[in-house]
Structure 1
Amino acid sequence: IFICVGTPSKPDGEADLSAIEAVTAEVAKAMNGYKLLVEKSTVPVMTGEWMKRTINLIRKKNADFDVAANPEFLKEGSAISDFMKPERIVIGTESERAKKILEEIYQPIKAPIIFTDVKSAELIKHASNSFLAVKISYINAISQICEKVGADVESIAKGMGYDSRIGKAFLSPGVGYGGSCFPKDVAAFIHLAKEVGYDFSLLKAVQKINQEQISLIFKKIKKYLWTLKNKKIGILGLSFKPDTDDIREAPSLKIMERLLSEEAILSVYDPKAMEETKKIFPRRTIYCKNPYQVCKGAELLLVLTEWEEFKKLDLKRVKKLLGKPHLIDGRNIYEPEKMKKLGFVYEGVGR
């Protein structure tokens, strides 16, 4: 029985495991023979132990079951491909019976299987996602230094990425990470560390840098527009990353909230995330049919998601439509020199 329920964050960062507990209790009540419960959800370490206790309390008599951890590493926008062609399969169990069952299930999928104990498997998911968040915040911290000294963070990321010990992935500076995983998992890992007596200052710094990126973008906006009341600002990109409609913890929402709080008028476009965003910001926001409609009369244009569609825009047409040629590229999808030649007042991140 694969358990794949949500584990959202509480206000203090702790994972809400009420759905895990409810499912475990439901399974325990219906048991009629050996059952293998497999954690797929992202859960804090010791969840497997609590599941065992819950089942034993409900069953009272010796129940025939095992609990295993098998964290998922699927990316939004490529979930099916990631499942069928994973880089690794992690299985945490102390039971040979459970090991054989899961080994048989995954036999058709050609990928290395890492067998470990339940606690280690639970930690692997948190450690993996948190490390990727570290890489993002690290390159964003470098971007802040670059802006102060006149260096190009994209060149630095390229120079670092060719080192096989570092790798190119997640060295893309920008407006920060979002989505349903990184913010939640980093917060949960910090909370977990606190619970066991460790101050995870590294991940606290990662959170701080991520929050700073939003403030830095806002400062760039204010530099060009000064006051924002009744000024039209265009936004390209609402989802936290391309190829998904997911706006959970998206940097765009935080930026929109701040702009609207200062009574700006927003015109926005995203290939997939418009309907969800409308539910949050129904007023003072124009939801456009295409990127060019966003640009019409805008005093500043923000690029917040690196959709392929935005990389192929007719930039001459964009400039002609804008009320003022201010463009803040929060994902560094355009080349600064080209933009300046076209007549834009262009600013990227760390360039």
Structure 2
Amino acid sequence: MRLGIVKKQEKRPSSHSSFSSKRGYIVNVTIIGSGYVGLTTAVALALIGHRTRVYDIDNAKIEGLRVGRAPFYEPGLEEALQAAQANLQFEYEPSRAFENADVVMIAVGTPPTPAGGANLGYLYTALRDLTEHNTNHDVLVVTKSTVPVGTGSNVSAFYEQATGRTPLIASAPEFLRQGRALADTLYPERLVFGTRDPRALTLLRELYEPIISQTFEPPAYLPQPQQRSTVPAIECSIESAELAKYAANAFLATKISFANEIANVCDLVGGDVQDVMAVLGLDSRIGAQFLQAGLGYGGSCFPKDTRALAQLSNREGYSFKLLSATIEVNNDQRFRVIDKLERHFGTLQGKDITVLGLTFKAGTDDLRDAPSLDIIAELVSRGARVTAHDPVALDAAGKMLPAHVRLCSEAQEALKGADAALLVTEWPEYRALDWRAAQRSMRHNVIIDGRNALDHHLLAEIGFVYEGVGRVGRRALPAPTFV
């Protein structure tokens, strides 16, 4: 592994790209896939001056993007689409998508297989389109999709078999967070260039040089973080880059599950998990991020990536015990709030429960592996009548939830007549809600805060029976014994 900080400097054009004295090298980039990773990467590269195409076989998505309509909710993305339009093209015809491309980035989905591994079907479909329509024999093929270790070698073999030529191959995994995807792409904590080919490294450095040196003009709606200068660029093998992405997500998932385990102990002994995590978070060896107790992780990355890493380890004959425990804790955690409800009511049969928030976290409309879906299904199976609200995801949720779940466009309306409110997603709208009005309209005054996001002092003052995750102990500690 090599850690490189590339500083902006005047250079003569390489065989791959043309030089602009204002912005440095301009690279022709084609990105396959218009999801979170592909579209965000494309918009960021276009903003810093590269000529960027997005290729997707979904004609409706491409037509929407051509008129500036993003296919998913992400703060700042539609403004960025408008700002970068001079350098952006959107194509569903592969013959046009790969024309004169210096770099082709594969950013398609790798959903889980039934066994828990990564389904690479979309990736190989993308490769077939590339090998059949690419005209540049020196193109650099970069995998940005999260893929198992060894995929880079398989991509190289596939390309060589299809074309008779040995390609330039690299892995450049992303580490963006939904809800902050564009900021994480323009202002990353690190970049990873996985390749041993010096030509590929040179082109990746040229492509990312404005981001590494942070010399581009920041968008007004997405200012540069304070004290951000250069971005570390880690150069390593393709295999190390592929594993690093899985390792990062698995470690963060483990921190979340650890915090939830401590919260569950707090519920038993009377501790407050936020106090405990504050102590841990101030330890520089641990850090405060991802120590928030709640309903566990969801979304498109952590669940599938932890399972894929566990499956990869098992395939190689190694039992990754810590990761298996992380997954088990997370699977169980989302149902503990239902147990809390039952302790208040004895049975949920015939009870009216309002679920606040459906997306797996605030700031996104993503419902993939969202705890809300499992929680609502379990509430219904226990006989509860469920009403749900979410600021951005009601239409999509309506296609995924049981037909008799009532969906409300207003949170206050959703709370009317409820026996209990269950906060599942920490949208700021719920913190700002008029809870005095809500308390007057509810049948009973129970709130289960699955994200520890609400002001429990205020709610108690209003008259709610509040219970968070690891915030209100079920019993006091036993009296000490003095000898």
Distance 1:73 1:228 in 2: 41
Aligned counterpart, 1:263 = 383
Distance 1:275 1:48 in 2: 38
Aligned counterpart, 1:53 = 157
SS at match of 1:328: strand
SS at match of 1:169: coil
Report the AA paired with residue 162 of structure 2: I
Q: Is the CA contact 1:35–1:64 (under 8 Å) kept in the aligned structure 2?
A: no
Distance 1:302 1:171 in 2: 21
Deviation string, structure 1 residues 234-254 (Cα, Å, up to 9, x no partner): 111110000111111011110
Aligned counterpart, 1:253 = 373
Q: Which runs of no fewer than 5 residues in structure 2 stay unpaired?
A: 1-103, 215-230, 472-483
145, 163, 169: which is aligned to 2:283? 163
Aligned counterpart, 2:267 = 147
128-137 or 220-229, which deviates more? 220-229
37-46 or 281-290, which deviates more? 281-290
Report the AA paired with residue 249 of structure 2: N
SS at match of 1:106: helix
Aligned counterpart, 2:205 = 103
- Residue 261 of structure 1 and its aligned partner are, at CA, apart by 1.7
Q: Is the CA contact 1:237–1:269 (under 8 Å) kept in the aligned structure 2?
A: yes
- Structure 1 residue ranges (4+ consecutive) displaced by more than 6 angstroms after TM superposition: none
Report the AA paired with residue 270 of structure 1: D
Give yes or no for the alignment of 1:117 onto 2:237.
yes
Distance 1:288 1:118 in 2: 48
Aligned counterpart, 1:305 = 425
Distance 2:414 2:340 in 1: 19
Q: Is the CA contact 1:260–1:284 (under 8 Å) kept in the aligned structure 2?
A: no
SS at match of 1:292: helix
Aligned counterpart, 2:459 = 339
SS at match of 1:164: coil
SS at match of 1:38: strand
Q: Is the CA contact 2:107–2:144 (under 8 Å) kept in the aligned structure 1?
A: yes
Distance 1:256 1:282 in 2: 9
67, 77, 92: which is aligned to 2:179? 77
Q: Is the CA contact 1:34–1:64 (under 8 Å) kept in the aligned structure 2?
A: no
SS at match of 1:218: helix
Distance 2:303 2:348 in 1: 29
- Residue 282 of structure 1 and its aligned partner are, at CA, apart by 5.0
- Residue 56 of structure 1 and its aligned partner are, at CA, apart by 2.2
Aligned counterpart, 2:194 = 92
Distance 1:225 1:65 in 2: 64
SS at match of 1:107: helix
Report the AA paired with residue 126 of structure 2: V
SS at match of 1:108: helix
- Residue 64 of structure 1 and its aligned partner are, at CA, apart by 3.9
Distance 1:302 1:74 in 2: 29
Deviation string, structure 1 residues 105-135 (Cα, Å, up to 9, x no partner): 0011132111111000001110011111001
257-266 or 143-152, which deviates more? 257-266
Distance 1:26 1:335 in 2: 53
Distance 1:31 1:347 in 2: 58
Aligned counterpart, 2:15 = none
224, 249, 270: which is aligned to 1:129? 249
Q: Which runs of no fewer than 5 residues in structure 1 stay unpaired?
A: none
Aligned counterpart, 1:8 = 111
Distance 1:248 1:194 in 2: 25
Give yes or no for the alignment of 1:35 onto 2:139.
yes
Distance change (3 Å), C-alpha of 1:51 and 1:333: same
Report the AA paired with residue 20 of structure 1: L
- Give matches, 1:234-249, under 5 Å: 234-249=354-369
Report the AA paired with residue 92 of structure 1: G
410, 422, 432: which is aligned to 1:290? 410
Task: State TM-score, norm by structure 2.
Answer: 0.71
How high is the sequence identity, in percent, across the aligned residues? 41
Q: Is the CA contact 1:174–1:331 (under 8 Å) kept in the aligned structure 2?
A: yes
Aligned-pair Cα RMSD in Å? 1.3
SS at match of 1:15: coil
- Give matches, 1:214-229, under 5 Å: 214-229=334-349
222-231 or 111-120, which deviates more? 222-231
- Residue 220 of structure 1 and its aligned partner are, at CA, apart by 0.7
Task: State TM-score, norm by structure 1.
Answer: 0.96
279-288 or 207-216, which deviates more? 279-288
Q: Is the CA contact 2:159–2:166 (under 8 Å) kept in the aligned structure 1?
A: no
Distance 2:138 2:461 in 1: 70
- Residue 31 of structure 1 and its aligned partner are, at CA, apart by 4.5
